[in-house]
Protein backbone atom coordinates (compact mmCIF):
# COMPACT_ATOMS: atom_id res chain seq x y z
CA UNK A 1 0.00 0.00 0.00
CA UNK A 2 1.39 3.40 -0.95
CA UNK A 3 0.29 7.04 -1.03
CA UNK A 4 1.17 9.63 -3.66
CA UNK A 5 2.30 13.20 -3.05
CA UNK A 6 4.09 15.67 -5.34
CA UNK A 7 4.57 13.12 -8.11
CA UNK A 8 6.12 10.45 -5.84
CA UNK A 9 4.73 7.23 -4.36
CA UNK A 10 5.53 6.68 -0.66
CA UNK A 11 5.42 3.14 0.70
CA UNK A 12 4.28 2.44 4.26
CA UNK A 13 7.90 1.67 5.17
CA UNK A 14 8.96 5.09 3.88
CA UNK A 15 6.15 6.76 5.81
CA UNK A 16 7.47 5.07 8.96
CA UNK A 17 10.97 6.37 8.20
CA UNK A 18 9.62 9.92 7.95
CA UNK A 19 7.66 9.55 11.20
CA UNK A 20 10.83 8.24 12.87
CA UNK A 21 12.79 11.30 11.69
CA UNK A 22 10.18 13.54 13.31
CA UNK A 23 10.01 11.57 16.55
CA UNK A 24 13.71 10.97 17.21
CA UNK A 25 14.63 14.65 17.57
CA UNK A 26 11.95 17.16 18.58
CA UNK A 27 14.28 20.11 17.89
CA UNK A 28 14.37 19.54 14.14
CA UNK A 29 12.77 22.23 12.03
CA UNK A 30 10.44 21.52 9.13
CA UNK A 31 13.16 22.60 6.69
CA UNK A 32 15.67 20.21 8.27
CA UNK A 33 13.13 17.38 8.18
CA UNK A 34 12.47 17.93 4.48
CA UNK A 35 16.20 17.75 3.72
CA UNK A 36 16.67 14.61 5.81
CA UNK A 37 13.65 13.00 4.16
CA UNK A 38 15.19 13.59 0.73
CA UNK A 39 18.48 12.10 1.91
CA UNK A 40 17.08 8.88 3.37
CA UNK A 41 14.68 8.36 0.44
CA UNK A 42 17.21 9.44 -2.22
CA UNK A 43 14.66 11.94 -3.54
CA UNK A 44 16.76 14.04 -5.90
CA UNK A 45 16.42 16.54 -8.73
CA UNK A 46 17.82 15.66 -12.15
CA UNK A 47 20.91 17.75 -11.30
CA UNK A 48 21.51 15.71 -8.12
CA UNK A 49 20.23 18.31 -5.64
CA UNK A 50 17.71 17.48 -2.93
CA UNK A 51 14.01 17.94 -3.80
CA UNK A 52 13.52 19.53 -0.38
CA UNK A 53 10.81 21.97 -1.48
CA UNK A 54 8.75 19.13 -2.94
CA UNK A 55 9.37 17.16 0.25
CA UNK A 56 8.18 20.08 2.36
CA UNK A 57 4.94 20.37 0.38
CA UNK A 58 4.43 16.60 0.48
CA UNK A 59 4.89 16.47 4.27
CA UNK A 60 2.43 19.32 4.77
CA UNK A 61 -0.15 17.40 2.73
CA UNK A 62 0.61 14.22 4.69
CA UNK A 63 -0.12 16.17 7.87
CA UNK A 64 -3.38 17.50 6.39
CA UNK A 65 -4.37 13.90 5.62
CA UNK A 66 -3.58 12.77 9.17
CA UNK A 67 -0.60 10.59 8.24
CA UNK A 68 1.96 12.38 10.43
CA UNK A 69 2.38 15.36 12.76
CA UNK A 70 5.01 17.96 11.97
CA UNK A 71 6.59 20.27 14.57
CA UNK A 72 5.22 23.78 14.78
CA UNK A 73 6.75 26.18 12.21
CA UNK A 74 9.67 28.22 13.54
CA UNK A 75 8.65 31.38 11.71
CA UNK A 76 5.27 32.87 10.95
CA UNK A 77 4.42 32.24 7.32
CA UNK A 78 4.30 35.43 5.24
CA UNK A 79 0.93 36.78 4.18
CA UNK A 80 0.38 35.25 0.73
CA UNK A 81 -2.19 37.83 -0.32
CA UNK A 82 -1.29 40.14 -3.18
CA UNK A 83 -1.44 43.87 -2.52
CA UNK A 84 -2.50 46.04 -5.44
CA UNK A 85 -0.60 49.27 -6.05
CA UNK A 86 -0.65 52.09 -8.59
CA UNK A 87 2.15 50.27 -10.40
CA UNK A 88 -0.35 47.90 -12.00
CA UNK A 89 -3.06 50.49 -12.72
CA UNK A 90 -4.33 50.46 -16.33
CA UNK A 91 -2.16 52.37 -18.77
CA UNK A 92 -2.82 54.14 -22.08
CA UNK A 93 -3.89 51.82 -24.89
CA UNK A 94 -1.11 50.64 -27.20
CA UNK A 95 -2.34 49.66 -30.66
CA UNK A 96 0.86 49.33 -32.69
CA UNK A 97 1.47 46.12 -34.61
CA UNK A 98 3.72 43.51 -33.03
CA UNK A 99 6.64 44.45 -35.25
CA UNK A 100 6.53 48.06 -34.03
CA UNK A 101 6.90 46.94 -30.41
CA UNK A 102 10.28 45.33 -31.03
CA UNK A 103 12.75 44.78 -29.57
CA UNK A 104 11.02 42.90 -26.78
CA UNK A 105 12.83 42.35 -23.49
CA UNK A 106 12.13 39.13 -21.57
CA UNK A 107 13.03 39.78 -17.95
CA UNK A 108 13.29 36.72 -15.68
CA UNK A 109 11.71 37.07 -12.26
CA UNK A 110 14.64 36.53 -9.92
CA UNK A 111 14.14 38.87 -6.96
CA UNK A 112 11.37 39.84 -4.55
CA UNK A 113 10.59 43.15 -6.25
CA UNK A 114 10.06 41.44 -9.61
CA UNK A 115 8.09 38.65 -7.95
CA UNK A 116 5.71 41.07 -6.20
CA UNK A 117 5.18 42.92 -9.48
CA UNK A 118 4.50 39.70 -11.44
CA UNK A 119 2.10 38.45 -8.76
CA UNK A 120 0.27 41.77 -8.71
CA UNK A 121 -0.33 41.92 -12.47
CA UNK A 122 -1.39 38.27 -12.65
CA UNK A 123 -3.71 38.63 -9.67
CA UNK A 124 -5.30 41.76 -11.10
CA UNK A 125 -5.69 40.85 -14.77
CA UNK A 126 -5.46 37.07 -15.30
CA UNK A 127 -8.77 35.24 -15.05
CA UNK A 128 -7.22 32.49 -12.88
CA UNK A 129 -5.59 34.98 -10.54
CA UNK A 130 -2.36 34.41 -8.66
CA UNK A 131 -1.48 30.96 -7.34
CA UNK A 132 1.92 29.54 -6.52
CA UNK A 133 3.27 27.61 -9.50
CA UNK A 134 4.13 23.96 -8.71
CA UNK A 135 7.62 22.48 -8.78
CA UNK A 136 10.46 23.85 -10.88
CA UNK A 137 9.42 27.13 -12.44
CA UNK A 138 10.39 30.25 -14.36
CA UNK A 139 8.47 33.51 -14.63
CA UNK A 140 8.93 36.34 -17.10
CA UNK A 141 7.92 39.99 -17.45
CA UNK A 142 7.91 41.13 -21.08
CA UNK A 143 8.77 44.76 -21.87
CA UNK A 144 8.52 46.89 -24.98
CA UNK A 145 10.86 49.79 -24.24
CA UNK A 146 9.84 50.73 -20.68
CA UNK A 147 6.30 49.38 -20.94
CA UNK A 148 5.25 46.08 -19.41
CA UNK A 149 3.13 44.39 -22.06
CA UNK A 150 2.90 40.72 -21.04
CA UNK A 151 3.72 38.15 -18.36
CA UNK A 152 4.40 34.42 -18.55
CA UNK A 153 4.76 31.66 -15.98
CA UNK A 154 6.07 28.11 -16.45
CA UNK A 155 5.90 25.28 -13.92
CA UNK A 156 5.65 21.52 -13.50
CA UNK A 157 3.76 19.47 -16.07
CA UNK A 158 0.48 17.72 -15.35
CA UNK A 159 1.08 14.27 -13.82
CA UNK A 160 -1.08 12.56 -16.40
CA UNK A 161 -3.38 13.52 -19.24
CA UNK A 162 -4.52 10.99 -21.82
CA UNK A 163 -4.04 13.02 -25.06
CA UNK A 164 -0.44 13.95 -24.16
CA UNK A 165 0.53 10.52 -22.85
CA UNK A 166 -0.85 8.80 -25.96
CA UNK A 167 0.95 11.35 -28.15
CA UNK A 168 4.27 10.56 -26.43
CA UNK A 169 3.61 6.83 -26.17
CA UNK A 170 5.42 6.35 -22.87
CA UNK A 171 4.84 3.84 -20.10
CA UNK A 172 3.95 4.67 -16.51
CA UNK A 173 7.56 4.12 -15.44
CA UNK A 174 8.92 6.27 -18.27
CA UNK A 175 6.51 9.06 -17.35
CA UNK A 176 7.50 8.80 -13.70
CA UNK A 177 11.18 9.08 -14.63
CA UNK A 178 11.00 11.74 -17.35
CA UNK A 179 8.02 13.96 -16.55
CA UNK A 180 10.37 16.76 -15.45
CA UNK A 181 11.41 17.14 -19.11
CA UNK A 182 7.96 18.61 -19.85
CA UNK A 183 7.24 22.19 -18.75
CA UNK A 184 3.74 23.63 -18.40
CA UNK A 185 2.92 27.16 -19.54
CA UNK A 186 0.63 27.84 -16.59
CA UNK A 187 0.15 31.59 -17.12
CA UNK A 188 0.21 33.81 -20.20
CA UNK A 189 -1.17 37.33 -19.95
CA UNK A 190 -1.19 40.10 -22.52
CA UNK A 191 -2.20 43.18 -20.53
CA UNK A 192 -5.72 44.32 -21.47
CA UNK A 193 -4.67 47.76 -22.79
CA UNK A 194 -2.23 46.17 -25.26
CA UNK A 195 -4.09 45.82 -28.58
CA UNK A 196 -1.36 44.54 -30.87
CA UNK A 197 -2.11 42.10 -33.70
CA UNK A 198 0.13 38.97 -33.68
CA UNK A 199 1.90 40.00 -30.45
CA UNK A 200 0.86 36.91 -28.48
CA UNK A 201 2.10 34.43 -31.07
CA UNK A 202 5.35 36.41 -31.45
CA UNK A 203 5.95 36.22 -27.70
CA UNK A 204 5.25 32.47 -27.68
CA UNK A 205 7.67 31.95 -30.55
CA UNK A 206 10.41 33.90 -28.75
CA UNK A 207 9.93 32.24 -25.37
CA UNK A 208 10.22 28.76 -26.89
CA UNK A 209 13.77 29.69 -27.93
CA UNK A 210 14.70 31.50 -24.71
CA UNK A 211 13.31 29.21 -22.02
CA UNK A 212 15.36 26.00 -22.61
CA UNK A 213 18.70 27.69 -21.85
CA UNK A 214 17.29 29.59 -18.87
CA UNK A 215 15.84 26.33 -17.55
CA UNK A 216 19.23 24.67 -17.95
CA UNK A 217 20.92 27.52 -16.09
CA UNK A 218 18.43 27.22 -13.24
CA UNK A 219 17.91 23.45 -12.98
CA UNK A 220 20.75 21.78 -14.86
CA UNK A 221 18.83 20.18 -17.74
CA UNK A 222 16.99 21.13 -20.92
CA UNK A 223 13.23 20.50 -21.17
CA UNK A 224 12.10 18.86 -24.41
CA UNK A 225 8.38 19.65 -24.58
CA UNK A 226 6.08 22.52 -23.58
CA UNK A 227 2.41 22.00 -22.74
CA UNK A 228 -0.50 24.28 -21.93
CA UNK A 229 -4.21 24.00 -21.17
CA UNK A 230 -6.70 26.41 -22.74
CA UNK A 231 -10.12 26.66 -21.09
CA UNK A 232 -13.11 26.11 -23.37
CA UNK A 233 -15.18 28.00 -24.45
CA UNK A 234 -13.50 31.01 -22.84
CA UNK A 235 -10.55 30.88 -25.27
CA UNK A 236 -9.82 29.37 -28.65
CA UNK A 237 -6.05 29.07 -28.27
CA UNK A 238 -5.55 30.97 -31.53
CA UNK A 239 -2.19 32.49 -30.55
CA UNK A 240 -0.77 29.07 -29.62
CA UNK A 241 -1.87 27.57 -32.92
CA UNK A 242 -0.38 30.56 -34.77
CA UNK A 243 2.91 29.88 -32.96
CA UNK A 244 2.82 26.24 -34.20
CA UNK A 245 1.68 24.59 -30.99
CA UNK A 246 -0.18 21.34 -31.71
CA UNK A 247 -3.68 20.66 -30.41
CA UNK A 248 -3.81 17.12 -28.99
CA UNK A 249 -7.33 16.95 -27.61
CA UNK A 250 -9.34 17.87 -24.54
CA UNK A 251 -9.27 17.06 -20.86
CA UNK A 252 -12.20 15.22 -19.29
CA UNK A 253 -12.94 18.03 -16.80
CA UNK A 254 -12.45 15.81 -13.75
CA UNK A 255 -9.49 17.65 -12.24
CA UNK A 256 -7.07 16.05 -9.82
CA UNK A 257 -9.66 15.03 -7.25
CA UNK A 258 -12.87 14.92 -9.25
CA UNK A 259 -15.09 11.82 -9.22
CA UNK A 260 -14.67 9.38 -12.07
CA UNK A 261 -17.05 9.99 -14.96
CA UNK A 262 -18.22 13.40 -13.72
CA UNK A 263 -17.10 16.86 -14.80
CA UNK A 264 -15.96 18.94 -11.82
CA UNK A 265 -13.69 21.56 -13.50
CA UNK A 266 -13.83 23.30 -16.90
CA UNK A 267 -12.86 21.25 -19.95
CA UNK A 268 -9.64 22.46 -21.55
CA UNK A 269 -7.83 22.01 -24.84
CA UNK A 270 -4.35 20.55 -24.48
CA UNK A 271 -1.64 21.95 -26.75
CA UNK A 272 2.06 21.06 -26.91
CA UNK A 273 5.20 22.45 -28.51
CA UNK A 274 8.28 20.22 -29.00
CA UNK A 275 11.56 21.90 -28.12
CA UNK A 276 13.59 19.27 -29.97
CA UNK A 277 12.71 16.88 -32.78
CA UNK A 278 13.98 13.98 -30.63
CA UNK A 279 11.57 14.67 -27.77
CA UNK A 280 9.81 11.28 -28.00
CA UNK A 281 13.00 9.22 -27.77
CA UNK A 282 14.14 11.33 -24.80
CA UNK A 283 10.82 11.01 -22.99
CA UNK A 284 10.64 7.28 -23.71
CA UNK A 285 14.21 6.67 -22.51
Q: How far apart are CA 138 and CA 38, in angstroms?
A: 23
188-205 tens-digit pLDDT: 999 999 999 999 999 999
Geometric angle at alpha carbon 141, from 139 and 142, rounded to 5°: 130
**Per-residue confidence (pLDDT) for residue 82, from 0 to 100:** 87
From the CB of residue 29, how many other CB atoms can be counted at a distance below 10 Å?
A: 14
Q: How far apart are CA 263 and CA 257, in angstroms?
A: 11
- Shortest CA distance to 59 belongs to which of 77, 39, 33, 80? 33
**Per-residue confidence (pLDDT) for residue 77, from 0 to 100:** 55
Q: Count H helices, E strands: the chain? A: 9, 9
CATH code of 86-283, in short, is 3.40.630.30
Per-residue pLDDT of the chain (285 residues; tens, 9 = 90+): 789 888 789 999 999 999 999 999 989 999 999 999 999 999 988 878 888 888 988 999 899 889 999 998 877 555 566 889 999 999 999 999 999 999 999 999 999 999 999 999 999 999 999 988 878 999 999 999 999 999 999 999 999 999 999 999 999 999 999 999 999 999 999 999 999 999 999 999 999 999 999 999 999 999 999 999 999 888 999 999 999 999 999 988 765 544 455 555 788 999 999 999 999 999 999
CA distances, 39 to each of 33, 35, 274 (Å): 10, 6, 34
Task: Judge residue 20's burial from the number of C-beta atoms within 10 Å of its C-beta, 0-12 exposed, 13-18 middle, 19 or more buried.
Answer: exposed
Range(s) within the chain of domains with CATH label 3.40.630.30? 86-283
Coil, strand or helix at 188: strand
57-105 tens-digit pLDDT: 899 989 988 999 999 887 755 556 688 999 999 999 999 999 999 999 9
**Per-residue confidence (pLDDT) for residue 246, from 0 to 100:** 98
Amino acid sequence: MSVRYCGRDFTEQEMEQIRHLIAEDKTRSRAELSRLTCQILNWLKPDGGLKDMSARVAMLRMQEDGLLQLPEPRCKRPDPSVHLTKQSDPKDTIEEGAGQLRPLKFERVVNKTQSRLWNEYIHRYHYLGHKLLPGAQLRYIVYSQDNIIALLGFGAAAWQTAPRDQYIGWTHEQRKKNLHLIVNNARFLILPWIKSHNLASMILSRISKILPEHWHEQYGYHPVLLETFVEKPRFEGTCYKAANWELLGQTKGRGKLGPSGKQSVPIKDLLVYPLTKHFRSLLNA
